[in-house]
């Protein structure tokens, strides 16, 4: 099958390569001329046979919106556009409506697999009308892992990115649980080989998983993670998952806590924890650290006066 691929970065480039290895004709476009097959979107569209299929792998938000808007002016009725980036599912519905007015089909695909997808295949969560999905099945079959799993036509437009959003929310929670377990194991002098402990869990336990395999790999490269800084960004899908949970009144305490933990990781000196320390000092006289690295007066410090009102004691 012939397909146009827009965006040839880490994911898009590897996906294009996997498709080519499977025998598909891929015409790729990227702003980097060194990896691009064509000079622009108009040339890409001209190179494709009708009905055309174009897969967009650019950052979510304005870059995706601008690309789809331009494609809407270049493509013809009967063509199909795939958004394989990390777009919000509500944006998918708007894009589908705009393209449908021009007779162009729209399919949203949540893609998981990262840098390992070229070798192992990509898990694909697809949303869209059945006819458009059927047209793209040769591409999906080439991209997915071998076997019966790794692909789902999850539902109507928006379902693919909604499913991927929830997938990433679950990922946040699992990663946070592993991280907290690692920190606790490191904090005790009872466990003297933390990396080996995690490695032992890879077989026979209920928490064995690819994330656990990657954790073991990370500890093999840096046993105490001393080469890393405790900062974790979020791609946006964790936030969208929590927002969707609020919209549908579905409690997500673990995923929400994991998202907030990532926010906390970006604060070298947490403003909220400053207030917690100040309040502990006020009601209990607990010692606090000053910005100069010295301990301020607590209740047991000479000259300290932190006696609370009677009704506040306890």
Residues belonging to the active site: 164
- Residue 213 gets the label, from left (phi > 0), alpha (psi -120 to 50) or beta, of alpha
Residue 312 CB coordination number (10 Å): 9
- What contacts 139, CB < 8 A, 6 or more positions away? 1, 3, 19, 24, 53, 55
In the block, which residue shows the tokens 């900062």? Answer: 231
Listed residue (42, 64, 46) closest to 55, CA to CA: 64
For tokens 């001209």, the residue is: 46
Q: Look at residue 53 and give its three-state secondary structure.
A: strand
CA 262 to chain centre: 13
Q: Report the C-alpha gap between 195 and 185 in whole angstroms.
A: 10
Alpha carbons 198 and 43: distance in angstroms, whole number: 51
Cα separation of 159 and 165, whole Å?
A: 10
Contact (Cβ atoms closer than 8 angstroms) between residue 83 and residue 56: yes
Count how many Cα atoms sit within 13 Å of the Cα of residue 196 in the half-sphere of its side chain: 3
Upper half-sphere CA count for residue 230 (Cβ side, 13 Å)? 13
Owner of token pair 């498709």: 19
Residues 106, 83 contacting (CB under 8 angstroms)? yes
């Amino acid at each position: 099958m012939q397909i146009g691929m827009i965006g040839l970065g880490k994911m898009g480039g590897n996906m294009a390569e996997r498709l080519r290895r499977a025998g598909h004709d891929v015409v790729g476009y990227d702003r980097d001329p060194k990896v691009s097959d064509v000079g622009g979107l108009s040339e890409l569209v001209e190179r494709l046979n009708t009905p055309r299929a174009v897969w967009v792998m650019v950052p979510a938000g304005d870059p995706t919106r601008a690309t789809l808007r331009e494609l809407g002016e270049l493509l013809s009725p009967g063509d199909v556009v795939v958004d394989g980036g990390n777009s919000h599912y509500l944006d998918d519905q708007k894009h589908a409506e705009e393209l449908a007015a021009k007779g162009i089909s729209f399919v949203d695909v949540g893609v998981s697999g990262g840098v390992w997808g070229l070798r192992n295949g990509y898990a694909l969560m697809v949303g869209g009308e059945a006819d458009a999905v059927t047209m793209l099945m040769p591409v999906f079959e080439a991209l997915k892992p071998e076997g019966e799993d790794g692909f789902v036509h999850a539902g109507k437009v928006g379902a693919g990115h909604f499913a991927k959003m929830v997938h990433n929310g679950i990922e946040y929670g699992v990663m946070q649980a592993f991280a907290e377990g690692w920190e606790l194991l490191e904090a005790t002098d009872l466990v003297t080989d933390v990396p080996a402990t995690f490695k032992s869990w890879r077989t026979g336990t209920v928490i064995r998983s690819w994330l656990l395999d990657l954790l073991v790999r990370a500890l093999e490269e840096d046993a105490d993670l001393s080469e890393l800084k405790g900062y974790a960004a979020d791609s946006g899908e964790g936030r969208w998952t929590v927002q969707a949970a609020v919209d549908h009144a579905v409690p997500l305490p673990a995923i929400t806590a994991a998202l907030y933990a990532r926010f906390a990781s970006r604060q070298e000196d947490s403003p909220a924890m400053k207030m917690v320390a100040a309040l502990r000092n006020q009601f209990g006289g607990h010692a606090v650290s000053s910005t100069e690295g010295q301990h301020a007066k607590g209740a047991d410090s000479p000259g300290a006066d932190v006696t609370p009102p009677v009704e506040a004691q306890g």
